[in-house]
Amino acid sequence: MDPAPNDPRPELRPAAGPLRGVRVVELSGLGPGPYAGMLLAELGADVLRIDRPGGGTALLPADAELLHRSRPCAAVDLKRPEGRDLVLRLLAGADVLVEGLRPGVTERLGLGPDDALARNPRLVYARMTGWGQSGPRAAEAGHDINYLGLTGALHAIGPADRPVPPLNMGADFGGGSLFLVVGVLAALLERATSGRGQVVDAAMVDGASSLITMIQGMFAAGAWSDRREANLLDGGAPFYTTYACADGGHVAVGAIEPQFHARLLEGLGLTGRLDGAQNDVARWPEHRAALAAVFATRTRDEWTAHFAGTDACVTPVLGLAEAPRDPHLAARGSYVEIDGVAQPGTAPRFSRTPGAVRGGPRRPGQDTRAALTAWGIDADEVARLLDAGVLAESRASR
């Protein structure tokens, strides 16, 4: 397709990666669902995002929504019978459906698992919600902080006086998106043997609970206190926390193992002063005060240079604008620049079939004509449905 008039962004690059040939229909939503669609697209899947005409609820301007990168978007009115039937036809030729709507929504639209699997018994129907498809809270609204709160994870994070949400990484993206993608890959692998699709129910509360398995095990063994900032990994230990530097910046210290802790004390000139203090919880306040006093004498970047190449496990705490310029991340190409915006690249990496960011965010309806015809819908039918308002195009793609 020729570039849309007045649209300066290039077309999406061809799919590449280990999932090349896998076809995915994504019913657009917020946050975790689009992130899962983005991951699958950048692993090589042919992902078609279905959005509402005019776009749905948006947190950012369409051009800034990085989670909408790497795959085309068609705008389809799913409340119209013709729109529902069109999506069912797309699903007949798809391998995966990804949806992150509330329980029962796709059923009411006529796009639930029974409808979809009747059209395509090999389909992997992947659905993601916060509370899951069943249970007393299944129909309630919620966000990452709520799901973490119920699992015990939020209680364990933050300073002693109050829990602090870890952005929305724990339940939304960690417990939701990543577990959904794991479920999709596992179901595709199983289908190669059985020939049958199935429903993947990825609940953020389930995934978040799974993520704290190690901590639950430590708690059960008496090796973890149910108080914040009192344990090995929650900022309680003076050798696993952050320290302020002379310029107001911070360093992150993770010197857990004895040999790394020894390197830390050596680098700070504290060798001999804290003998036997590492695992003596009663001496942790003394230990912390000693480290804090030394770290406060130099700037963050001075400490970064001082500990470079050692095993003291000291790194700078970088800001969002600084991270893409870090020498290690730059050497690995961990960040890429798309349409002038620095952003995380693809992960993980593959030796033979590398994935890639295929392009920047696509507006709702930007690729309606080209994407639907590429999926086998006749161009004349697309034109007719556009005229009828069942489909829509973004202004720049008309």
d(CA 2, CA 5): 9
What is the H or E stretch that residue 356 is in?
none
Beta strand 46-51 pairing with 23-27? parallel
To the query of whether residue 172 is one of the catalytic residues in this protein, the response is: yes
Q: How far is CA 310 from the centre of its chain?
A: 31
- One of 46, 51, 95, 172 is an active-site residue; which one? 172
Residue 85 a catalytic site member: no
Helix locations, the chain, DSSP H: 32-42, 81-92, 105-109, 113-119, 144-151, 179-194, 204-211, 213-220, 258-268, 284-295, 300-307, 327-332, 368-374, 379-388
CA distances from 60 to 40, 207, 277 (A): 22, 26, 49
Please give the Cα distance from 183 to 76 (Å, whole number): 27
d(CA 21, CA 6): 32
Of 7, 115, 143, 326, which is the active-site residue? 143
As annotated, the active-site residues are 143, 172
